[in-house]
């Protein structure tokens, strides 16, 4: 199929509907799946893509009876199309924020080692203070959340920081708003020599059979960092778990010990009398949790206010809210992680 010459189409502009249709096909490489993804009939989607090709004067797709491929021009234009649609989304977000703060949709991303323990405070805050906010929660691993933030699929993230440099964010800078610090505790089976102690030295981690979460969880990376700090480079148990609840059950079964954030301790250990908790000597190994947003996001000031309110809602949790007023550093801009 040859495209009409570009000269015949000067002055014509593609529509947003055409760009959305083409972006969906470029993502799915399947007309039926693309049509379903954007809620458009398949004939209408096919017609929109054909109209875009005519408007631009180039062939975007190579169609066969069995599959759809992007042409070389289509690959280049698909990248541009994604950028245009992202910019339109930013424009609409700007308009929504200008109309009224703390209304409309807030797509909040949270990692699994934070979500079960912090979300009750978040949900109570929204119910009490921001009742007109349509909160949508997405629990995913750090890499997926950062991709979603960079693509515009998510608005605000709750993550452990600093962020790993290898995760992609679509080229966008990131701003971190510190929320709280929390210590790690050691969970061991009842009767374990390291169990039920206070003032535990970090150096003990050199010898213990430490169980970790699966690859992709930032808590795994943080635990390994603690091990490296005490001079342990190997010997960590190879058994891994997809979530903290499973990890704790492995400990209860006598397979080893593990590190838990203090905020998770009560939820994950209170139901099992075969577990003991030990606390490290100061300074205990710890992590910082922050709200993360795109630098320059239209709702930056709104998200800052939300984070400040969330810090005040942490009473009762075994964490230390970051007093940003004392440091004058309520925002920390970070370069985009590199792939």
Asked if residue 285 has pLDDT above 80, the reply is yes
pLDDT 10s digits, 239-255: 678 888 888 898 898 88
> Does CATH number 2.160.20.10 belong to domain 6-94?
no
Asked if residue 74 has pLDDT above 90, the reply is yes
Number of neighbours of residue 77 by Cβ within 10 angstroms: 23
Asked if residue 53 has pLDDT above 90, the reply is yes
**β-pairing, 156-161 with 286-294?**
antiparallel
> For 104, phi and psi rounded to 5 degrees?
75, -160
Q: Which residues contact 20 (CB under 8 A, 6 or more apart)?
A: 38, 48, 85
Q: Is 74 exposed, middle or buried (0-12, 13-18, 19+ CB in 10 A)?
A: buried
pTM across the whole model? 0.68
**Lowest mean pLDDT across 54-63, 294-303, 326-335:** 326-335
Domain 100-177+292-334: homologous superfamily in CATH:
Periplasmic binding protein-like II (3.40.190.10)
Asked if residue 3 has pLDDT above 60, the reply is no
- What burial letters (b/e) apply to 36-53, b meaning 16+ CB within 10 Å? ebbebeeeebbebbebbb
Q: Which residues contact 45 (CB under 8 A, 6 or more apart)?
A: 21, 24, 25, 31, 34, 35, 38
CA distance 73 to 59: 7
Q: How far is CA 61 from CA 50, 73, 261, in A?
A: 9, 9, 50
pLDDT 10s digits, 214-231: 877 777 878 878 877 777
Asked if residue 11 has pLDDT above 80, the reply is no
The sign of the dihedral angle between the CA atoms of 293, 295, 297, 299 is positive
Secondary structure, 3-state, the chain = CCCCCHHHHCCCCCCHHHHHHHHHHHHHCCHHHHHHHHCCCHHHHHHHHHHHHHHHCCCCEEECCCCEEECHHHHHHHHHHHHHHHHHHHHHHHHHHHHCCCCEEEEEEECCCCHHHHHHHHHHHHHHHCCCEEEEEEECCHHHHHHHHHHCCCCEEEEEECCCCCCCCCCCCEEEEEEEEEEEEEEEECCCCCCCCCCECHHHHHCCCECEECCCCHHHHHHHHHHHHCCCCCCCCCCEECCHHHHHHHHHCCCCEEEEEHHHHHHHHCCCCCEEEEEECCCCCEEEEEEEEECCCCCHHHHHHHHHHHHHCCCCCCCEECCHHHHCCCCEEECCCCC
pLDDT 10s digits, 83-122: 999 889 888 877 776 666 788 889 999 999 999 999 999 9
Q: Which of 174, 178, 161 is nearest to 333 (CA)?
A: 174
Please tell me the predicted confidence (pLDDT) of residue 273: 85
Same fold, 6-94 and 181-279: no
pLDDT 10s digits, 124-170: 999 999 998 999 999 999 999 999 998 889 999 999 988 865 444 54
> For 261, phi and psi rounded to 5 degrees?
-65, 145
CA distance 146 to 307: 18
Q: Which of the listed CATH numbers 3.40.640.10, 3.40.190.10, 1.10.1740.10, 3.90.870.10 matches domain 181-279? A: 3.40.190.10
Residues in the chain, overall count: 339
> Any idea where the domains of the chain sit in the sequence?
6-94, 100-177+292-334, 181-279
Average pLDDT over residues 175-193: 92
Please tell me the predicted confidence (pLDDT) of residue 234: 65
**β-pairing, 68-70 with 61-63?**
antiparallel
In the chain, % of residues over pLDDT 90:
51
């Amino acid at each position: 199929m040859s495209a009409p010459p570009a000269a015949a189409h000067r002055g014509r502009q593609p529509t947003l509907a055409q760009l959305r249709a083409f972006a969906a096909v470029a993502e799915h490489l399947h007309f039926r799946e693309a049509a379903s993804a954007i809620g458009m009939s398949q004939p209408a989607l096919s017609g929109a893509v054909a109209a875009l090709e005519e408007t631009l004067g180039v062939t975007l797709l190579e169609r066969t009876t069995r599959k759809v491929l992007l042409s070389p021009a289509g690959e280049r234009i698909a990248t541009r199309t994604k950028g245009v649609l992202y910019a339109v989304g930013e424009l609409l977000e700007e308009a929504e924020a200008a109309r009224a703060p703390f209304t409309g949709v807030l797509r909040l991303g949270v990692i699994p080692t934070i979500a079960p323990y912090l979300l009750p405070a978040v949900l109570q805050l929204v119910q009490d203070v921001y009742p007109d906010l349509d909160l949508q929660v997405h629990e995913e691993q750090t890499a997926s959340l950062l991709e979603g933030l960079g693509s515009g699929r998510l608005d605000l993230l709750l993550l452990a920081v600093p962020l790993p440099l290898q995760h992609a964010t679509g080229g966008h800078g990131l701003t971190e708003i510190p929320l709280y610090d929390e210590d790690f505790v050691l969970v061991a089976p009842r009767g374990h020599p390291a169990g039920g102690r206070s003032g535990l030295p970090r150096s003990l981690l050199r010898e213990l059979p430490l169980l970790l979460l699966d690859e992709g969880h930032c808590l795994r990376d943080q635990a390994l960092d603690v091990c490296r700090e005490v001079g342990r480079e190997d010997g960590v148990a190879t058994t891994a778990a997809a979530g903290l609840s499973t990890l704790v059950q492995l400990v209860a079964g006598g397979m080893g010990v593990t590190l838990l954030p203090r905020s998770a301790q009560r939820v994950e250990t209170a139901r099992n009398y075969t577990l003991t908790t030990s606390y490290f000597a100061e300074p205990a190994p710890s992590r910082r949790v922050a709200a993360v947003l795109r630098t320059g996001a239209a709702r930056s000031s709104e998200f800052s206010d939300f984070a400040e309110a969330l810090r005040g809602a942490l009473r009762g949790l075994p964490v230390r809210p970051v007093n940003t007023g004392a440091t004058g550093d309520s925002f920390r801009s970070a370069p985009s992680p590199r792939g």
